[in-house]
A and B are shown apart, each in its own frame.
Chain A
Amino acid sequence: MSMSITNTPTRYGWAAIILHWLIGALFIGQFGLGFVMVRLTSQRTAFELIQLHKSLGFLLLGLVILRIAWRIGNAAPALPRSVGPFERRTAPLAHFALYGFQLALPLSGWALVSVSMLEIPSMPFNLFVMPNLPLAESDAAENFWAAAHWYLAYAGIALVILHALAALRHHFWLKDTVLERIIMPSSDRGAE
C-alpha cells in the first residue's frame, strides 16, 4: 500500500477511497442534519444548524467537484469477475446516478438559499461570503427549490442505502472484494 494514491486497473487508490468515505459520511450526515434542523422547537438552534448545513453543503460540493475531476482523470478499476452481467450493466448506472445526486443536492440547496426571500447570506464556516446563484428571489422559487431539495434528498438517500446493501451483499453473500477494495488499496487479491 505504499504510495498507492492513484487507481490501477485492479484496485482503488487512497485518493478515491478517502474521497468516497468523506463524501459518503458528509452526504449521510447532511441528510440527518437536514432532517433534524427543520423539526426543532428552538429557533436559535435551528438557525445555527441550518448555517452548519449550508457550510457542510458547500464543503460537500467542493469535494464532489474534486472527486469527479479525479474520477475523469483516473479511471476506476474494472469490476471483479465475480460481478454478474446484470450488475455489470446496472452498477455503472447506479454510480452515475450517485454522482448526479452528490452534485444536485448541494446545488439545489445553494439555489434554495439564493432565491429565498429571507436573504440570509451564506458564510461557509464563517470564513467568507459565498455569493448567491444568479436566480431571482421569490416565494414561488423558494417553494420550488425547497421541494426539489427535499425530493432529491430522499431519493439520494434511498440510492445510498441501495448502494450500501449491494456492497454488503458482495461482502457477506458473494464474498468477493467489491467492498474491501474501497476500504484498502492493498486488497488486490482476487481482483482477478
Chain B
Amino acid sequence: MRVSRRIKPMYARIFGFAALAACLAVPVSAAVALSDAAGSYTISPANSSIRFSVGKAGGGGLDGAFARFKGSIRIDSSDVGRSRVDLTIFPESVGTGQSRIDAFLRSDAVFDAANSPEIQFRSTSVKRTGDTSALVTGRLTARGKTFPEKFTAELGGLKAGTIKFRVTGKVLRSRYGMDVGTPIYSNIVNFDMTLTGKRG
C-alpha cells in the first residue's frame, strides 16, 4: 500500500501485473515439478516401509509392518488423474515383534497367507488435492475379496530419478474376512506407508 502510493499510477499497474504473474507462478512451478516427476517408477522395498496399526480396547494398539512387497508408480506427464499405482503385499512377511502374533496373523484367522499369498492394490483414480498431495482411489483385494479403498499420498521428495511418497489410509478389515478379535481390536486398520520409487 505504502509502495503503490509512492509510485506513479503506470508503474503501479506494471507492479500489479508482476504480482499477478508471481501468484500464477506457484501452480505453474508445481506443474513443472509434475512434468519433472512424470514417468514410471518401481517401488524399492529397501527404501520403503508399509506399517499398520490396529487400535485396542482400553488404549494402545497393535503395530506391525510388512517386510516384503512390490509395486510401481506411473505419473502421467499431462494429466495427474491418469497416474497409476500398483502395490502387491506379501502377508507372509508380516511382523509385529511377537512371533506368536505373527503366526496368528499369517494363519487362516487373519491373512490366510498359505491360500492367499498376495494382497493387491490397483489404483482406479488419482485426484490431486494440493501442490504435493493426491487422493488415490483403487481396488484392494485380500483373501479373494475386493473393495474400493482410498489412500492419501503426500509427495515427500523428488530427486535424481527417485520419488518418495507418504501414503496413509484406513481400511475396514471386516470386509476382507479378517474381523477376528473385534471389538477387542478395532475394525479399522491404519496404514502408514513410505513408498520410494526408482525411475525405470
A interface, CB within 8 angstroms of B:
42-44, 47-48, 51, 117-121, 123, 126, 129, 131
A118 CA to B101 CA in the complex, in Å?
Answer: 7
Q: If A43-B108, A43-B109, A44-B108 touch, does A118 touch B100 (CB 8 Å cutoff)?
A: yes
B interface, CB within 8 angstroms of A:
56-58, 60, 98, 100-101, 103-104, 107-109, 180-181, 183-184
Q: If A44-B109, A51-B184, A126-B183 touch, does A121 touch B104 (CB 8 Å cutoff)?
A: no
Q: If A121-B58, A123-B57 touch, does A43 touch B184 (CB 8 Å cutoff)?
A: no
Residues of A within 8 A of B103 (CB): 43
- Establish whether residues B183 and A43, one from each chain, have CB atoms under 8 Å apart when the complex forms: no
Q: If A42-B109, A117-B98, A118-B100 touch, does A47 touch B181 (CB 8 Å cutoff)?
A: yes
- Establish whether residues A43 and B60, one from each chain, have CB atoms under 8 Å apart when the complex forms: no
* Additional A-B contact list (4), CB under 8 Å, known A47-B181, A118-B98: A43-B104, A47-B109, A121-B57, A123-B184
Q: How many A-B residue pairs have CB under 8 A?
A: 36
Q: If A47-B180, A48-B180, A117-B98 touch, does A129 touch B58 (CB 8 Å cutoff)?
A: yes
A140 to chain B, nearest CB (A): 15
5 closest Cβ contacts across the A-B interface?
A44-B109, A129-B58, A43-B109, A43-B107, A121-B57
B109 to chain A, nearest CB (A): 4
- Establish whether residues B183 and A123, one from each chain, have CB atoms under 8 Å apart when the complex forms: yes
Residues of A within 8 A of B184 (CB): 51, 120-121, 123, 126
Residues of B within 8 A of A51 (CB): 184
Residues of A within 8 A of B104 (CB): 43, 47
Interface secondary structure of A, over-half rule? loop
Residues of B within 8 A of A120 (CB): 184
Residues of A within 8 A of B98 (CB): 117-118
Residues of B within 8 A of A48 (CB): 180
What are 8 of the A-B contact pairs (CB < 8 Å)? A43-B107, A43-B109, A44-B108, A118-B98, A118-B101, A119-B60, A126-B183, A126-B184
Q: Which residue of B lies closest to A48 (CB)?
A: B180
Residues of A within 8 A of B56 (CB): 119, 121
A117 CA to B101 CA in the complex, in Å?
Answer: 10
Residues of B within 8 A of A131 (CB): 58
Residues of A within 8 A of B57 (CB): 121, 123, 129
A131 CA to B60 CA in the complex, in Å?
Answer: 13
A131 CA to B107 CA in the complex, in Å?
Answer: 28
Residues of B within 8 A of A126 (CB): 183-184
B60 to chain A, nearest CB (A): 7
A115 to chain B, nearest CB (A): 14
Q: Which residue of A lies closest to B101 (CB)?
A: A118
A27 CA to B58 CA in the complex, in Å?
Answer: 28
Among A43, A47, A119, A123, the one with the most B-chain Cβ atoms within 10 Å of its Cβ is A43
A102 to chain B, nearest CB (A): 26
A129 CA to B60 CA in the complex, in Å?
Answer: 13
A51 CA to B180 CA in the complex, in Å?
Answer: 11
Residues of B within 8 A of A121 (CB): 56-58, 184
A47 CA to B100 CA in the complex, in Å?
Answer: 12
Residues of A within 8 A of B60 (CB): 119
